[in-house]
Structure 1
Amino acid sequence: MVHASLSGTGAAPETVRDALLDALGPGGTLVVPAFTPENSDTSRAHQQLIAGLDEQEIREFRAAMPPYDPDTTPCPTMGALAECVRTTPGSVRSAHPQTSLAGLGPRAPELLDGHHPHCHLGDRSPLARLYAADARVLLLRVGFEVCSALHLAEYRTTPPPPRRTYRCVVEDKGNWIEYEDAALDDSDFARLGERLPKELLVRREWSGRPVVQFRMRPVVDEAVRQLSCRTARLA
């Protein structure tokens, strides 16, 4: 699973995609986050889109919002590599209307199938399947603040995280659905990454920024421990 920022590298996303697939080999599967927070009026991304609009304009904007379609809905906030993987012929994308993942490779259908529409990134999402598969995570010129694997740790903390209401558009314009799921909070992810044991991480650099690779399972387990301890201290 790769999170990447290619800005300033001069590298085309297709070149990076192909290099990653070559490194994985014919049996490997490449997965990227293909999130669509713009599809939800409960997200920061949506609030930025409607900033400055009056009430009537907001109603018209919401009524015209296209529903999530795994085959066609772009993921502009996820970066060039994610959009490249999503649009590559043969790619697979999970079904969640806000936090889908896209993948290329022989295990993509198995890993990305069955993404429950009311579970962003917990045990009914592809993250749990990637964890079970002992997947590796690559942070390519980005930090832990965008590391989606840590959201799986949030779901597994003791006590579990609070819940909140989410809304998004599915199937048809104007068809808004509402559901409850964990109140996801990535505000501590960067500090959590700094506290991870060094032996869990392989650090390099590319084009002036850090690159970090790690096995998902031990890092998620350590994150569960840290986040549970933090919750216990705040209780």
Structure 2
Amino acid sequence: MELMDPPSGPRMLIARMPIADCLSVLAEDIPRATAKRLADHNSGRLLLEKCLEHWELPIDSLEVLRTEHRAPYLSWLNGVWRNEPLPGISIGHSGDWAVCALIEPGYWIGIDAEPKDRGIQTNAFDMMAKGEELDFLIGNSKMAIETWTAKEAVQKAEKLGMHLNPRDINLTEYNVESFIHDDLMVSVSWREAGDAPRSAEDDLLDATLEAMKDNPNFSVGCKTTRNNV
């Protein structure tokens, strides 16, 4: 794992590692995936493992779930009975590299990277820009790869993916920074977190708390009564 300098702001960890045939305890089962798809996915999840270890979190107590828009997020495993806030995460891969970003609890983060010299055909510019921004890109095509990675990072930080049309993203309205790291153009976006998905344990704990408030004699666990002598 190779750490990269994070942007100024909340605590973040930004890292990359080469894509390879590997396994990860955080990997998803992807039926009928190609060898390349599996290598990309597993490398990203293995990099996430390494980042979480660097953050000093217990890998064996965590899992990666997805929102309705398939944005990944960390959750405590059912049965460990922990509910401390967890960092926001984002994973990406491009070319030979997997990239990963963590951010302190209370924030969401998105990361995207592409080879810095990758060209984007001008006839694709209108898929990510419109109006004055499109005119600017047509006249400054070298800015296209930075614009593309920045907008993908925003889509991830908003946890919407392509449900947020890149043509509608005005980058001046978001926290997003782009930088070159060796051969990669890297973009990172972050924002204050929205509502977190709830787990079954969250619902059970809340129901128990309400029952305790309504009934002072409410108890949980074994019904055995001990007589103090």
Name the TM-score, length of structure 2 as normaliser.
Answer: 0.33
Name the TM-score, length of structure 1 as normaliser.
Answer: 0.32
Higher strand share: 2
Pair member with larger Rg: 2
Relative contact order (C-alpha < 8 Å, sep 6+): which is higher? 1
